[in-house]
Amino acid sequence: FTITDERKKSVNFTQPYTTIKQVAVGLKDNPLTSESGLIGKKLVAQLGTSGEYYVEEDLKNLGWETYTGLNTYSDIVLGLLNKAYDYEIVDEPVGLAQVTANPELAVYPVLNAPIEEYGFLFNKKDTALLEEINNSLTRLKADGTIDAILKYYSDNGYRTDTPSYYD
């Protein structure tokens, strides 16, 4: 999950294990070369995500035609493929997974979005478990395991048929 101050009010997060950025996803035949290319376009994002927040807060003055928030990524991808929306605003790893599964789509890393951090979340009462996970993350970062896992999936795709890193 993307670590945000709002979410920290409800849950505890581990230390960050990676950083991400918001990207636009759209059809390959509709290339996007800059954030200003979103002017007059129909945007979509998943409800409750940092993609939605970025559209509503950071892009609100840009002049996009419409914004729609949807509950599922499958509905969003279907809408992109059927040209109901021009671009989705989404975390880069999610966008890469969508493009891997739908080669008609492309990721356009042209947004002026801030870098975000991913962490695992825990119930506020699970402080002992949180500490153990943070200790493990420290070791996995130090020995390069996390970077190796992230690189593996970046290189091999985020499809459901991609073999596990540990296979």
Taking CA atoms, 98 is separated from 40, 133, 144, in Å, by: 24, 29, 26
Amino acid at 161: D
What's the CA gap between 97 and 73, in Å, rounded? 11
Phi, psi for residue 152 in degrees, rounded to 5: -55, -50
59-72 pLDDT, tens digit each = 888 888 889 999 99
Tell which residue, 104, 112, 134, 117, has the closest CA to residue 58: 112
Query: Which pLDDT score is estimated for 16?
Result: 96
106-163 pLDDT, tens digit each = 999 989 988 999 999 999 999 999 999 999 999 999 999 999 998 888 777 766 778 8
Phi, psi for residue 134 in degrees, rounded to 5: -60, -40
Whether this prediction's pTM lies above 0.75 is answered by yes
